[in-house]
Amino acid sequence: MVKLCVGAETIDDLADWQARQLQRIPEPVHHTRMMPKRAEEMLDGGSIYWVIKRAIRVRQRIIDIRAITDEEGRAMCELVFDTDLVRTYAQAKRPFQGWRYLKPTDAPRDLKTGEAARDIPPDLDAALKQAGVW
């Protein structure tokens, strides 16, 4: 699943927001109106890939998907995440509303320890790859 991380300018912003959440609740969550039709598939090792500043930059494993009711009695979906934020190679993503399914083959790979320095802007990364630099 891929989702815009509205209001976050950096991965640290997302981490700070979730740290504040964890002071009130036991696990990081996100509420959305629609229940994913492919929830079982997503619970079998799936992740949410967060788009920050027009690029996928980080992911979190989805550990539960719950049907809940909001304060106004509307049916909602609660996505529950692992606390680990796993940085990925930046992958450009245009703005969109809601969330989208992401095929595993289309997901950016995780950055390994020590690779963080190569987390460069997606446009520059694509140009360097096209030029054969890496």
- The DSSP line for 54-81 is TEEEEEEEEEEEEEEE-TTS-EEEEEEE
Q: Residue 67 is encoded by which pair of tokens? A: 């049907």
Q: Which pLDDT tens digits describe the chain residue by residue (134 residues)?
A: 999 999 999 999 999 999 999 999 999 999 999 999 999 999 999 999 999 999 999 999 999 999 999 999 999 999 999 999 999 999 999 989 999 999 999 999 999 876 654 556 666 766 776 677 65
Pairing verdict, β 55-69 and 47-52: antiparallel
Best CA proximity match to 81, nearest among 9, 27, 10: 27
**Confidence at residue 113, expressed as pLDDT on a 0 to 100 scale:** 74
Taking the C-alpha atoms of residue 89 and residue 11, their distance in angstroms, rounded to an integer, is: 13
What pLDDT is attached to residue 6? 92
Integer angstrom CA distances of residue 13 from 10, 43, 52, 96:
5, 25, 10, 20
